[in-house]
């Protein structure tokens, strides 16, 4: 009789510990998921701020190079496409991330063409409005890099929790899935051109 009571108490203690551990694991997953969602909102915010700066940049360049209409149209179309791709952070997939990155890549490519136009106009590069845009642009690019890094850091923590034992048991039961990292790919030529013009 005593031994069966000890076994029952032991089973009850193990069950309570398992439930406690499961609750802590679940709460940790919720916290990490919300952090990922916050960081992704920051990424979208800085990219939107970049998109909001583009009309000013285009208009400034137009003032000096009005005949470069094809470039202005390409930048405007790329901006429209980049702002139309939105992602629900809660249900983000690898395909969603690739679509977002592709749209931002097209925007960067179109901007590099616009910056190449600016390079051909010394008066434009010397203008006060372009100088102000340079400062704002550099700040935004730094903020984008920081936001992407913060997002990737939070996703790494979240993905580790989803995949590591024993939290992975709770993650599987609650249908928590890993989230994609942000891997921005900007051709080296564009990086060099942006650094020359905006640094």
CATH number at residue 123: 1.20.1440.20
Q: What is the mean pLDDT of the chain?
A: 84
For residue 4, being part of any structural domain is answered with: no
**Domain range enclosing 168:** 28-198
The mean pLDDT of 162-179, rounded to a whole number, is 90
Please state the rounded mean pLDDT for residues 59-66: 86
Q: Is residue 116 part of a domain?
A: yes
- Tell me the whole-structure pTM to 2 decimals: 0.80
* Mean pLDDT computed over 43-67: 90
Report whether 133 contacts 127 (CB < 8 A). no
Percentage of the chain with pLDDT > 90? 41
Tell me the mean pLDDT in the region 7-13.
Answer: 66
User: Given pLDDT bands bounded at 50, 70 and 90, which one contains residue 198?
Assistant: very low
Within a domain: residue 15?
Answer: no
The predicted structure's pLDDT at residue 193: 44
Distance (Å, whole) CA 28 – CA 30 = 5
Look at residue 6 and tell me if it is in a domain. Answer: no
User: Could you tell me the pLDDT band of residue 67, with boundaries at 50, 70 and 90?
Assistant: confident
- Does residue 79 form part of some domain? yes
Q: What average pLDDT does the segment 105-134 reach?
A: 85
pLDDT at 39: 96
Domain assignment of residue 73, yes or no: yes
Total H helices, total E strands in the chain: 7, 0
Statement: residue 21 has pLDDT above 80: no
Residue 5 counted as domain residue: no
Q: What is the domain count for the chain?
A: 1
The pLDDT, as a whole number, for residue 6 is: 73
Would 42 be classed as within a structural domain?
A: yes
Task: Please report which helix (H) or strand (E) contains residue 92, including its range.
Answer: none
């Amino acid at each position: 009789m005593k031994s069966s009571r000890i076994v029952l108490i032991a089973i009850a203690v193990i069950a309570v510990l398992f439930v406690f551990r499961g609750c802590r694991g679940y709460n940790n997953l919720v916290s990490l998921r919300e952090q990922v969602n916050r960081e992704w909102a920051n990424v979208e915010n800085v990219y939107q701020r970049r998109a909001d700066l583009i009309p000013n940049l285009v208009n400034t360049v137009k003032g000096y190079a009005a005949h470069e209409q094809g470039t202005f149209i390409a930048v405007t179309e790329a901006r429209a496409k980049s702002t139309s791709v939105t992602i629900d952070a809660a249900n983000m997939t690898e395909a969603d991330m690739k679509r977002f990155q592709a749209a931002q890549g097209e925007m960067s490519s179109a901007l590099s063409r616009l910056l190449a136009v600016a390079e051909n106009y010394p008066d434009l590069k010397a203008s006060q409005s372009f100088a102000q845009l340079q400062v704002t642009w550099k700040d935004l690019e730094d903020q984008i890099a920081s936001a992407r890094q913060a997002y990737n850091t939070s996703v790494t923590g979240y993905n580790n929790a989803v995949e590591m034992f024993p939290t992975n048991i709770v993650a599987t039961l609650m249908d928590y899935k890993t989230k994609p990292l942000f891997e921005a790919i900007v051709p080296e030529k564009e990086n060099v051109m942006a650094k020359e013009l905006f640094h």
